[in-house]
Amino acid sequence: MTQKPTHFPVLKKEVCQHWLNSPTGFYIDCTFGQGGHSKALLNLLSPAASLLGIDIDPDCSEDGLQLSQEDSRFRFQNLNYSSLYNYWVKQKLPKASGVLFDLGFSTAQLQDPKRSFSYNSSSSSLELRYGLDGKSVYEILNEYSEHKLNWIFKHYGNLREYKELTQAILRERKKEPITSIEQLKAILTNNKVFQKNRYNKNQIKLLFQALRIEANNELENLRHTLEKVKEILEVGGKLLIITFQSLEDELIEDWKRKYSYSIKIPDIGETIPPLFQLHPDSPILPSREEIELNWASRSSKLWVFTKLRE
């Protein structure tokens, strides 16, 4: 097996504490990665339990297949979690005792130059995709219309100068295609508007965030999957979601408002009870000790929902 950088699964102790619902249950890890959370849960499960790990990233298959050979309770599928429900139905899988989403990317993905997830990457490519589907960042920057670029920079990056950024990209791609990270960064650093507004590393980070979200259709895939997960979970089952940025938090908050509150129907005088409960009643944050050990965990939040009824 190819040696990969050491990856520390965030909030591992807290995830296992809340994910473990039944020692004999069926569990799903929707973002297997290098298997840190899955391996930790398997250590707590009985021989009668089972765990399905899925990941859109084909590079995770090696770790997934290795674990399936080491532990018969585990199976792996290279799959976008937006296709989880169809797979669950087709395979006639049981209701799940717990489902986990870790929305961060792994150390291996971050350090893989062919992925260019880091704006400090030495990669000459503009990729930013987890899997093989979707659009590459090259396509987004060189083929998207002015309107579409404005929209993703505004809504996915919260970039104040999104219009100026779009215009700078349009001017550059008229001269030649935008093909590299360095070329993209130069558009920012060489532009007087961005220099005047101190276009710093955080804003470059937000630009890459916007491009990554669009390339992978991240928010729409998550929104779609959460609508289906409520059917996959058994009553009493746990839904765990680890978020890392405000757009993910907003999506989870919207989902919570939709399914974690009673709905009154005035015309017939009835109240529909909530489908889920957030417990604890606020997201769980990493400890100071974990942040010191793993700086990447500093922005993580663990949301734990329990399904209350069918």
- Predicted confidence at residue 81, as pLDDT, reads 97
- What is the average pLDDT value for the chain, to the nearest integer? 90
Contact indicator for 106, 34 with CB cutoff of 8 Å: yes
> Which residues of the chain does CATH 3.40.50.150 include?
12-108+218-307
Is residue 100 scored above 90 in pLDDT?
A: yes
User: What pLDDT, in 10s, does the model give residues 48-59?
Assistant: 999 999 999 999
For 170-215, how does the pLDDT look when each residue is reduced to its tens digit (9 = 90+)? 999 999 999 988 888 888 877 776 666 555 567 788 898 999 999 9
253 pLDDT band, cuts 50/70/90, is very high
Q: Angle at the Cα of 290 (from 288 to 295), degrees rounded to 5?
A: 95
Note the residue count of the chain. Answer: 310
Strand pairing class (74-78; 96-102):
unpaired
Tokens of 144: 């998207």
d(CA 285, CA 300): 7
Task: With beta carbons less than 8 A apart as the criterion, state whether 307 and 230 touch.
Answer: yes
DSSP character for 161? T
CATH of 12-108+218-307, one of 3.40.980.10, 1.20.1440.120, 3.40.50.150, 3.40.630.10: 3.40.50.150
Q: Which of 14-23, 56-65, 108-117 has the lowest mean pLDDT?
A: 108-117
* Binding-site residues from annotation for S-adenosyl-L-methionine: 35-37, 55, 81, 102, 109
As a CATH number, domain 135-216 is: 1.10.150
- Residue-level pLDDT at 200: 59
Amino acid identity of residue 108, one-letter, is A
Q: Where in the chain is the domain with CATH 1.10.150?
A: 135-216
Question: What is the rounded average pLDDT of the residues 264-273?
Answer: 85
The per-residue pLDDT for 5 is 61
pLDDT at 13 over 50: yes
